[in-house]
Structures are given as structure tokens and as C-alpha cells.
Amino acid sequence: MTLKFEANQLRAYFVCGTQDVVGQSLVTVVDQALAAGITAYQFRDKGASQLTTAARYQLGQELREHCAAAEVPFIVDDDVDLALALQADGIHVGQSDDQVQRVLEQVGQQMFVGLSCSTLAEVEQANQIAGIAYLGSGPIFPTTSKLDADPVVGLAGLAQLVQVSHYPIVAIGGITENELPAIAATGAAGAAVISMLANSDDYQRTVWAMLAAPFEE
């Protein structure tokens, strides 16, 4: 059974794939993040990932089961076929991936859909599309986790996007624990992180910092 989308699931949103935890088990990393209290997990296995399609499906199946046991939404990045095969709770798509309208038609009511938007024009366009659950906006700060990242949005830019958006926004890109209060002050619903958590020496502390930030309910 898939989980319904709620904006508070964006508070402590972990994005991670095998390329982000080289030399470690992704399942172990995600299990630690789940135990620490993340509110959503996005399976984003791409770029430097060496997995075959079959291996990615097998890994995704295990991660999906662990998220379900923890009652945390399991979200697949970009890949509609994989998301449907894994019965994911959600799928996240970018501006350059499949057109979001096409994805909405393909998944119907089976899962929620998130969309990356980094400019006012993209947010205004998203406002015209019914059925989107949330927007992911960034990078807020410079990031090394995505080689194809958009230009830096900044805190002032994020505040503008939040003001215009009809949908809750999760901020992503170059975020550290120290910046969480400033991100929350923009009205964002949460923070999505890759390296901040994947490289943390204390998952509990890092996730607690995300949960403690006064994000918009």
C-alpha cells in the first residue's frame, strides 16, 4: 500500500544512490537514516552509478521494503518504469526529464509526483498543472552532488519561489546543518539533502537538526 503525500514529509528528505556512498552499502546508509527519523527517501541512482537495470531494480526493491516498514515515503528519481515496478509512493522528475504531464498521466493515482523548479517561470508554469504534490527547488547553495545542477538560487531566490508557488517547496543543494534555520525562514516546507547526511558522522544529530528547523507546516 502506498503512502499518501503530506507536506510534512518534506521536512527531512534524504536523496541518495550508490554513487553517493562509494565503498559503503546503500541499504545500510538508508537504514541508518530511517532509524534517525528521515521523513522521506528518494532513490536517485544515476551519474557515476555502475548498477545494471536488473541490479538497480533489486536494490530498489530492498530499499522500498525498508521504507515501507518504517512508514517513510519511498520516492524514485526520474524513472517511471522503475517507480511503477517498485510500487513507489512517489516519483520526482526534473525539467529535462519526461514532461511532468506525461508522468502524471502514466502514474495516475498510484503515486504522488514531485517536480524540480529552479526559476520563477518554472514555478509559474507548475502552478498551471493540476496533480503535482510538491516542488524541489535549488541548488540553494553551490553543490558537488549533481554535475548538471542549475545555477545557484540562493536564499532570497528561494523565498521568491516559495511566495509564488501554489505547492509546498523542498529546498535542495549544498545545504549544511548551519543553514537549516535560514532555509526554514523562507517558508520552505523542508530540506532535501544528499551529502549532508550521506557524509554525516552522526545521523541522529543531522536528522534531528532537520526536524528541529521551523519549516512551514
**Which amino acid belongs to residue 71?**
E
Instruction: Compute the average pLDDT of residues 85-113.
Output: 94
Catalytic residue numbers read 44, 116, 146
45 is in an annotated binding site: yes
146 is in an annotated binding site: yes
| pLDDT bucket at 85, cuts 50 / 70 / 90 | very high
140 is in an annotated binding site: no
144 is in an annotated binding site: yes
108 is in an annotated binding site: no
3-state secondary structure string across the chain: CCCCCCHHHHCEEEEECHHHCCCCCHHHHHHHHHHHCCCEEEECCCCCCCCCHHHHHHHHHHHHHHHHHHCCCEEEECCHHHHHHCCCCEEEECCCCCCHHHHHHHHCCCCEEEEECCCHHHHHHHHCCCCCCEEEECCCCCCCCCCCCCCCCHHHHHHHHHHHCCCCEEEECCCCHHHHHHHHCCCCCEEEECHHHHCCCCHHHHHHHHHHCCCCC
Options 3.40.50.280, 3.20.20.70, 3.40.50.150, 3.40.50.2300; CATH for 8-212 is 3.20.20.70
**Is residue 97 predicted with pLDDT exceeding 70?**
no
Could you tell me the residue ranges of all domains in the chain?
8-212
Instruction: Give the pLDDT confidence score for residue 37 in this predicted structure.
Output: 99
Q: What is the pLDDT of residues 23-57, one digit of tens each?
A: 999 999 999 999 999 999 999 998 878 899 999 99
99 is in an annotated binding site: no
| pLDDT bucket at 1, cuts 50 / 70 / 90 | confident
**Is residue 90 predicted with pLDDT exceeding 80?**
yes
| pLDDT bucket at 59, cuts 50 / 70 / 90 | very high
165 is in an annotated binding site: no
Instruction: Give the pLDDT confidence score for residue 148 in this predicted structure.
Output: 64
4 is in an annotated binding site: no
The rounded percent of the chain whose pLDDT value lies above 90 is 89
Instruction: Compute the average pLDDT of residues 132-161.
Output: 89
Instruction: Give the pLDDT confidence score for residue 128 in this predicted structure.
Output: 95
Average pLDDT, the chain: 95
**C-alpha span between 46 and 139 (Å, rounded):** 18
Instruction: Give the pLDDT confidence score for residue 146 in this predicted structure.
Output: 63
